[in-house]
Amino acid sequence: MLEQWQTGYVTKIVDATHNTRRFWISIPEKDRFDFKPGQFVTLDLPIHEKKNKRWRSYSIASHPNGSNEIELVIVLLEGGAGSTYLFNEIKEGSELTLRGPLGVFVLPEPLEKELFLICTGTGIAPFRSMVHHIKKHAIPYQKINLIFGCRYQKDLLYAEELQQLQLEMPGFNYIPTLSREDPNWHGQKGYVHKIYEEMLAADKRPANFFLCGWKEMIDEARQRIQAMGYDRKDIHLELYG
Mean pLDDT for 9-26 is 98
Euclidean distance between CA atoms 86 and 99, whole angstroms? 16
Q: How far is CA 176 from CA 54, 80, 127, 156, 209, in A?
A: 33, 26, 13, 8, 17
Q: Is the pLDDT score of 233 beyond 70? A: yes
- Percentage of the chain exceeding pLDDT 70: 99
> What are the strands, taking DSSP E only, across the chain?
6-17, 20-26, 40-44, 55-59, 69-75, 95-102, 114-120, 144-150, 172-178, 188-189, 207-214, 235-240
Residue 224 β-bridge partners:
none
Euclidean distance between CA atoms 172 and 216, whole angstroms? 26
For residues 90 and 135, membership in a common domain is answered with no
pLDDT value at position 1? Answer: 59
For residues 58 and 146, membership in a common domain is answered with no
For residues 60 and 121, membership in a common domain is answered with no
Mean pLDDT for 156-168 is 97
Number of domains in the chain: 2
Looking up residue 202, the CATH number of its domain turns out to be 3.40.50.80
Of 170, 167, 188, 190, which Cα lies nearest the Cα of 180?
190
For residues 88 and 119, membership in a common domain is answered with no
Mean pLDDT for 20-47 is 97
pLDDT value at position 167? Answer: 98
Q: Is the pLDDT score of 241 beyond 80? A: no
Most confident of 34-38, 183-187, 235-239: 34-38
What is the residue range of 34's domain?
A: 6-102
For residues 83 and 50, membership in a common domain is answered with yes
For residues 43 and 160, membership in a common domain is answered with no
pLDDT value at position 2? Answer: 66
Read off the pLDDT of residues 112-155 as tens digits, 9 standing for 90 and up.
Answer: 999 999 999 999 999 999 999 999 999 999 999 999 999 999 99
Whether residue 69 is contained in a domain is answered as yes
pTM: 0.96
- Percentage of the chain exceeding pLDDT 90: 93
Whether residue 108 is contained in a domain is answered as no
Whether residue 1 is contained in a domain is answered as no
Residue ending a domain, among 56, 81, 102, is: 102
**Packing angle, helices 192-201 and 215-227, rounded to 10:** 20
Read off the pLDDT of residues 67-85 as tens digits, 9 standing for 90 and up.
Answer: 999 999 999 999 999 999 9
